[in-house]
Amino acid sequence: MRINLRTKLLVFSIIIAIIPLLIAGQSLIRIAQDEMKSAANDQLINAVDRVTGEINNLVENAWAAPVLLIRDAIDQPNLSFEGKIAILRSGIESLTDVVALQISIEGSPLSPTAAQQPFLDRLVAAGLQPVEVMRSPIDLFAAAIGGASGEIERVDHVRETGDWLGTIVFPLNEPLPGGARGVLSARIDLSRIKTAIAAMPFTSTGRVLIADASGREVFSPEETDISAYPVVQAALQQLFQGSHATSVEPYPQPDGTPTLAAFAFPSLVDWAVVAEKRESDAYAAVAVMFRNLLIWLSAGLAVAAVGALVFSLGISRPILNIGAAVVEVAKGNFRTRVKGVRSHDEIGRLATQINDMIDKLNERLHLLKFVSRGTADAVKSSGDEGVKLGGESREAAILFADIRGYTAFAENRAPEVVVNVINLYFDRLAELVIKNHGDIDKYVGDQIMAVFWGPTKAEDAVRCALDIQDVMIQLNDEHPDYRLDIGIGIDAGSVVRGAMGSRERMDYTVVGDHVNFAARLCGYAAPRQTLVSNNVPAAVGKVADIYFNPLEPIVVKGKTGALPVFDVHRVTAAATAPARANA
């Protein structure tokens, strides 16, 4: 039994569509589940750390610190008892969360108390005796005498009003009138902790519980006993052992629901803060991924079947088109493109890649126009490692040519005209540089920097400068309204050639003292004048048709003393000169 190509491709495409999708899907789901578990654990740890940090900050800074200041104010040896009561009453007015301040006196039923009036009114409205609710527990007196506190020693729930009150005690260091010892206690409204927990983004997908040392859920109206929760049992065990390490582990809820949970412990109250999130919530995205996997698997099978049929019918023509395009590129035709390939399979991608390759080859061909020949040669010879920063010392002649009058010319003409004119001039000047065996290193505004190498580098640079001056005269004759001239500076000697800049952006160029001096000479040169250093006539030697005319030495920036310079002429242009410097 013979199986045709379409059937083979169809079966093969279905197989290669199913197996990778199944393997990749399972791997992605497993990786996603692990990542989600890690992310859920981080959320749990962040939640308990945030709550414990908020509790510690409130207890230490918002509650204990101001109460301690009041204690210190009361604890003055020369302050009368009436004065202490006055401080107690004035202090309570500035403390929002402190609903009552009380001085407990050893051996005395007298306990002067200052309270917040709104809280008193709420207790009365609930049918409670305010004194009974707001009085600090008597058993805390003995624990506080002779020691320092600042922690929440006890938490009570007022069922009738739903308030949770904590108690902070500070012993009075100075004896009260009569020599009795005393304790300052503060009853704190803990609702800010409850509000902070409710405002946490975590509570939209998880739950935060606070268990006291007896396993009772703090802030629960029913004061639910949650000590049977495995996570609470583990937390209380650490609490009793004095270990306050943050822990995160999976736990089952009492109904068996798998849950991820973490717990931590505030340092200033005997509580365990528990954050939990059901695994089904933590891994909700996995179910969505699995459902999407099935959808994409079905779509992939359909696309694979259709693609196999289309591919088998049109496989030969795309390959022939690709081959024809490759032949054209080999001939140097970078305008050709692979056409007629519309498939989205390997051949379609190959056609796209061939076109991308042709585009990049064409781009590189054009990019060569934007770099010097030396830069291109350096890239070619750099190998696989590419051009590296650094340089080498070489002998070269440097030519700078700057168009004079260009700024005034550009001020009164449209930008398009300015660009066209500068390109016209640069096109002619670049031809002369290449004709005289030079390499244009860069264009800087209306200035050209050219480099000449080889044994006749200095003579090549001078002849290039003379040709440039002749062409500038010719261009002025052709375009008398431009009125542009050029000044040229040339120096020869040792330079450093290499890649300069950073690893991300390099400039392959030459630097050194002779480069700088050539630029300075260009700046000193008058329109239609070529200035050269003393090194150039010596390097050119005896040449019949070039005349170097010595000028007054000049002083340039960065050099000590005056330096000899020459201007250059053709012999026909300087026939009446008294003598030649290179004769």
**What is the pLDDT of the chain when averaged over all its residues?**
79
Q: Are 246 and 238 in contact (CB under 8 A)?
A: no
* Confidence (pLDDT) at 532: 93
* Confidence (pLDDT) at 389: 60
The partner residues of 486 in beta bridges, in order of sequence, read 403
Burial 517-530 (b: 16+ CB within 10 A, else e): bbbbbbeebeeebb
Question: Does residue 370 register a pLDDT over 50?
Answer: no
pLDDT by residue (tens digit) across 224-275? 888 888 888 888 888 888 777 777 778 887 778 888 888 999 988 889 999 9
Place of tokens 């795309």: 318
Phi, psi of 564 (to 5 degrees): -70, 140
pLDDT by residue (tens digit) across 446-481? 888 899 988 988 999 999 999 999 999 898 888 888
pLDDT by residue (tens digit) across 100-150? 888 888 777 777 888 888 888 888 898 888 888 877 766 666 566 655 566
C-alpha distances (whole Å) from 367 to each of 309, 348, 356, 463, 558 are 43, 28, 16, 29, 36
Token pair of 430 as six digits: 């670049």
Report the DSSP pairing between strands 485-501 and 529-533.
parallel
pTM above 0.75, yes or no: no
402 or 375: which leads in pLDDT:
402
- Cβ count within 10 A of residue 222: 9
Q: How far apart are CA 156 and CA 218, in angstroms?
A: 9
Weakest-pLDDT range from 482-486, 501-505, 510-514, 516-520: 501-505
Weakest-pLDDT range from 47-51, 83-87, 290-294: 290-294
Confidence tier at 443 by pLDDT (50, 70, 90):
confident
Q: What percent of the chain has pLDDT over 70?
A: 76
* Confidence (pLDDT) at 583: 36
Q: How far apart are CA 43 and CA 36, in angstroms?
A: 10
* Confidence (pLDDT) at 6: 54
Contacts of 477 (CB under 8 A, 6+ apart): none
Place of tokens 């729930």: 157
